[in-house]
Structure 1
Amino acid sequence: MTSRKETPQTDLKIGFAGLGVMGEPICRNILQKSGAAMQVFDLSPAPVARLAELGATPAPNIAAMVAEVDILFLSLPGGKQVDSVVRGEILPAARAGLLVVDTSTSPVGLTRELSEELAAKGVRFADAPVARTRQAAEDGTLSIMVGGSSEDFATLRPLLAHAATDITHCGPVGCGQVVKILNNMVLFETVVALSEALTLGRAAGVDAELLFDTLSKGSADSFALRNHGMKAMLPDTFPEGAFPTNYALKDVSYALDLATLTGFKAHGAELARSRMEKARDAGLDNAYFPALIRVMDRAQ
């Protein structure tokens, strides 16, 4: 008899809800590479139509997918939307044996609460938030951090491998969110540091491009420097449609919630939040979040 973790991908029925900037390419990679039957749903008809052209079946709503699929992936803007979808659409239609996988970035406490509520109806849950850029989502080179049982991780890993090059089992439910939230917290704090370095360097007469290039050759080198610093801060280009200030504020709030949950202060995250709030208040709420460099304070 075939166990869940031995089930061939082509025998699985998969649902995918949330086809935004990251969700659509993740869904497309799994659809095209796994050979599994896939249903898709989004409030916007355009990504649904694009995936239907590749062989996906449009679903009328999320509850309809809950009734039919083996695994339901969610890729939503944040915890508020995940809460609404799980409690408002998945739980009322819950079917024992379903595995719900949240690839969104959501609060740790909420993730564990929803897992318990789903478990009461026989539904398994795993958190699998994703890291890296939109281009990485397109290329299938994301990093995915998974919280869930070992059995569910074994089921999910072959599917996630179609969208990611690095897949880490971080522990039980919620631990994927912990690692993702801390990943983003470190990124935000690093971007704040880069904004200060660039502003101070320019003010002191050092060429900005030379500064960042030289930092990249020393111990200050980082993903944030090479991507957020060199590709956004140096050319002063912060497009809408990339990871915006509002989304970054949401994620840093999750880090501060985690600090409260664990009983510690996160001073660096508090600083990052204040800088992002200042950028938001300056009208940069939808701009790519390294735009916070534009609101550097001058000494009085």
Structure 2
Amino acid sequence: MSIKTLGFIGLGTMGEPMCRHLAQKSGFKVIIYDRQTEPLQRLSALGVEACETIDLMAQTADIIFLALPSGIQVEDVCNNHILPNARAGQIVVDLGTSPVTLTHALAERFQAKGARYADAPIARTRQAAQEGRLSVMVGCDAETYATLQPLLSCFASDVTHCGNVGAGQVVKILNNMVLVETVVALSEAITIARRAGVDGEMLFKTLMKGSADSFALRNHGMKSVLPENFPERAFSTDYARKDISYALALGEQFGVPLPGARTADKILASASEKGLGEYYWPVISKVIATDAA
């Protein structure tokens, strides 16, 4: 496949740094679209060109990356803008977390137009996006993966081919399910420790030396739960619950009850009901502490 132009839609907290790395390292022309003007202006300094409409991008770009909040936006953008303009050989890549059923359906629609669709959801933190150290879980055929891997490596230190279309979403959804359940456990642990007169920082640092050590502990625990740092404009409680809903859907599809995920979903729902839906999702630790009062 001859690649001349890359398109990137969605320049939010994660999308903007990913696009920046892509523009700086890929060697290809990059065109962008977002409703907000600020990231467009910042990226224009790198020679990136803003596109007036998604339809125009679909007519121009050979590979289009989508960094959108949820499957709702992905479905809208694809069905109403990209698919009507899709052409043979074009590749559309969903970098967000979307339902597996939607991923399969969109792949079939693009295939009918001679185009290809890949799911490549990202994992890790906002800082990792800034530093180009994301993890990407890819679902597509081997030929498409060979084309995408060098491009994804522009903003990721780990790119894993998980299988055919949909496999990347399955792995990412399960990644987020395990992560949220782990933060629930950390939140419960620090609540008990503090009530027992045990220092929370000492607890977490000691857990890091033992079998309870994890990425969640070193990042979400130490950097958010312990200092009670839950900023807005980070991955929110509402977004986390969206991802848990995708895990629960998989559990229902394959007959797995997922009691841990259901507990996490209830805590996330409680956080949203308490007005914390827009805050960084480890804020559930405050809910766990409050509900235990």
TM-score > 0.5, shorter chain as reference: yes
Letter in 1 for 2:88: A
Tell me how far apart the structure 2 counterparts of residues 153 and 12 of structure 1 sit (CA, whole Å). 18
Matching residue of 2:259: 267
C-alpha deviation, 1:263, in angstroms: 2.0
C-alpha deviation, 1:12, in angstroms: 2.6
| 2:109 is aligned with 1:87 | no
| 2:172 is aligned with 1:187 | no
Matching residue of 1:213: 205
Tell me how far apart the structure 2 counterparts of residues 233 and 69 of structure 1 sit (CA, whole Å). 42
Question: For 2:98, what is the secondary structure of its paired residue?
Answer: coil
Question: For 1:19, what is the secondary structure of its paired residue?
Answer: coil
C-alpha deviation, 1:171, in angstroms: 0.3
The partner residue of 2:224 within 232, 244, 266 is 232
| 2:124 is aligned with 1:132 | yes
| 2:127 is aligned with 1:163 | no
Question: For 2:22, what is the secondary structure of its paired residue?
Answer: helix
| 2:242 is aligned with 1:250 | yes
| 2:35 is aligned with 1:43 | yes
Where does the alignment leave 5 or more consecutive residues of structure 1 unmatched? none
Deviations 1:169-196 (A, max 9, x none): 0000000000000000000000000010
Deviations 1:96-146 (A, max 9, x none): 211001101101111001110111111100000000011111111100000
Deviations 1:245-265 (A, max 9, x none): 011011111111111122211
Question: For 2:130, what is the secondary structure of its paired residue?
Answer: helix
Letter in 2 for 1:278: S
Tell me how far apart the structure 2 counterparts of residues 95 and 135 of structure 1 sit (CA, whole Å). 36
Query: How many residues were matched structurally?
Result: 291
The partner residue of 1:197 within 184, 189, 194 is 189
Q: Indicate the RMSD between aligned Cα atoms, in angstroms.
A: 1.1
Tell me how far apart the structure 2 counterparts of residues 15 and 78 of structure 1 sit (CA, whole Å). 19
Tell me how far apart the structure 2 counterparts of residues 229 and 284 of structure 1 sit (CA, whole Å). 18
Tell me how far apart the structure 2 counterparts of residues 116 and 278 of structure 1 sit (CA, whole Å). 37
Question: For 1:271, what is the secondary structure of its paired residue?
Answer: helix
Deviations 1:63-87 (A, max 9, x none): 1111111101110001000010011
Moved over 4 A (4+): none
Tell me how far apart the structure 2 counterparts of residues 69 and 281 of structure 1 sit (CA, whole Å). 42
Tell me how far apart the structure 1 counterparts of residues 242 and 189 of structure 2 sit (CA, whole Å). 25
Where does the alignment leave 5 or more consecutive residues of structure 2 unmatched? none
Letter in 2 for 1:238: F
Sequence identity percentage: 56
The partner residue of 1:278 within 270, 275, 282 is 270
The partner residue of 2:19 within 12, 17, 27 is 27
